[in-house]
Structure 1
Amino acid sequence: MKIEIWSDVMCPFCYIGKRNFEAALAQFPDRENIAVEWKSFQLDPTIPEVPQHQGNIYQFVAARKGISYERSVGMHEQVARMAKDAGLEYHFDKTLVTNSLKAHRLIQFAKPKGLGEYAEERLFYAYFTEGKDLSDDAVLTELGNDIGLTNADVKEALTNPAFQHQIEADGAEANSLGAKGVPFFVIDRKYAIAGAQSGAEMLKVLQTAYTEWKKGNPALLQVTEGATCTPGNECTH
């Protein structure tokens, strides 16, 4: 059964949602029959690579939303507490705000190589915990190397227009499905979970969707075990 997850690596609730989803999946007995695909959703493509107040996210959000600096700090402190409950450490005092396009390019390149989830995780951690500048090509090359990409791979990801086209297609697809924001989880194109809901709530939806999916996919074999030889000449009976 396929689960599609739209997210933006600059979205604090997306990282929290990722952890809550992983907690739900860890409790799901048929998780080997779940295929996950990460998809791009740029929350604000208009942000410059180096915006005003880049190194002060409290001031950046205050100016962007037209709220007081103090309210911005309070909002971020609340999100940091939510992240801690999910097992994450957010260091907003180190966050470097930037446009997320380059990060999404890297994710799109990593996906067909089976590295989409690793790219998401590494970029989330780099942004929210380590305070790395995701607009810096050298930083992105380092992060790409961390997940198994070469320097040439990262250069291709950052320059080939095909990856930007895919980012735009993912965003359009999310809009067509009714996504108002991220994280947005679509399960078997029948159920959707909007926002970073708890692992328990996600597990309930996952179980409901899987029960329906399994009824429509009888190709799953019910195996009766007998004497068997497996690759590697391991024979048991």
Structure 2
Amino acid sequence: MKKLRVDVWSDIACPWCYVGKRRLEAALARFPRRDAVEVVWRAFELDPSAKRVLDTDVSYAGRLARKYGVPVAKAEAMIRQMTEVGAADGLDLRFDKVRPGNTFDAHRVLHLAAERGVQDAVKERLLRGYMTEGEAIGEPEVLARLAGEAGLDPDEVRAALASDAHAREVRADEDEARAIGITGVPFFAFGGRYGVSGAQPAEALLGVLQKAWDEAADAPEQALAEGAACGPDGCA
């Protein structure tokens, strides 16, 4: 049976990645060959140098203002706009609850989840935990609990996080992202042929899905379009 693989580079600490996931799901729901599409979540750290859990004394708006060099009031307006965009896609983005932190271990858990066949469910749970519930996804025990709720064995998660399990796979994802020029996420690669940067509308993603299906062939990824995304310097 013909198959189509969609690789998505994204980070947990990325509101546009959550929106992009919803839009990809909406596109897949309308794609006639949905059962033949495999979605694989790949690792991308927006801030690899971040501490496990960052100081919460500074608000999300304050961090955003610092990144963009704008007044806090403007950052707050940006957050309101992002919240409205998320709501339109069925997401409850709670920037007032976000607890920023390092996401490397979260990506290791996602590789474990891929081995166990529950990667999408774990990805969803971590995004919701971070973007809606204010979970500190840099903390191993939080990761074990959330991943357990999504189908992984919490004790297996704890054991993996206590070792260097899947660290190599995360680094390989990031090396590949650099090799093909990914600087912001989400980034969607369809069938090893077409690439789309940013949280494009579902209609656009559906169009690329159909094109990749019709023209399935081995070729380097190439960016077709760009949309809203998050990068090391912030989200825009």
What's the TM-score bracket when you normalise by the shorter of the two chains?
Answer: 0.7 to 0.9
Q: Secondary structure at the match of 2:195?
A: strand
Look up the match of 1:119.
122
* Counterpart position of 1:15: 18
1:64 is displaced (CA, Å) by 3.5
- Contact between 2:130 and 2:136, CA under 8 Å: does it hold in 1? yes
- CA offsets, 1:57-116, max 9 Å, x none? 111222333322112111111111111111111011111111111211211111111111
- How many aligned residue pairs are there? 214
Report % sequence identity.
36
Equivalent residue number for residue 151 of structure 1: 154
Contact 1:54 1:60 survives alignment (8 Å): no
8 Å contact from structure 1 (residues 56, 96) kept in 2:
no
Instruction: Give 1:17 shift.
Output: 0.3
TM-score by length of 1: 0.86
Specify which of 181, 193, 198 is matched with residue 196 of structure 2: 193
Displacement of 1:8 in angstroms is: 0.2
Aligned partner (choices 135, 160, 164) of residue 161 of structure 1 = 164
Greater helix content: 1
Counterpart amino acid of 1:109?
A: L
Matched residue, 1:180:
183
- Tell me, yes or no, if the aligned pair for 2:141 and 2:158 is still in contact at 8 Å: no
RMSD: 1.5
Q: 1:141 aligns with which of 141, 144, 155?
A: 144
Is the 1:99–1:135 contact (alpha carbons within 8 Å) kept by the matching residues of 2? yes
- What is the distance in 2 between the residues matched to 1:210 and 1:135? 37
Aligned to 1:131, the other structure's residue is in SS state coil
Asked if residue 129 in structure 1 is aligned to residue 124 in structure 2, the reply is no
Runs of 5+ unmatched residues, structure 1:
215-237
Runs of 4 or more above 6 Å deviation:
none
Q: How many angstroms apart in 1 are the aligned matches of 2:162 and 2:68?
A: 32
Counterparts of 1:31-70 in structure 2 under 5 Å? 31-53=34-56, 56-70=59-73
Unpaired runs of at least 5, structure 2 = 218-236
Once the two structures are TM-superposed, the CA of residue 54 in structure 1 deviates from its matched residue by 5.8
Normalised TM-score (structure 2): 0.86
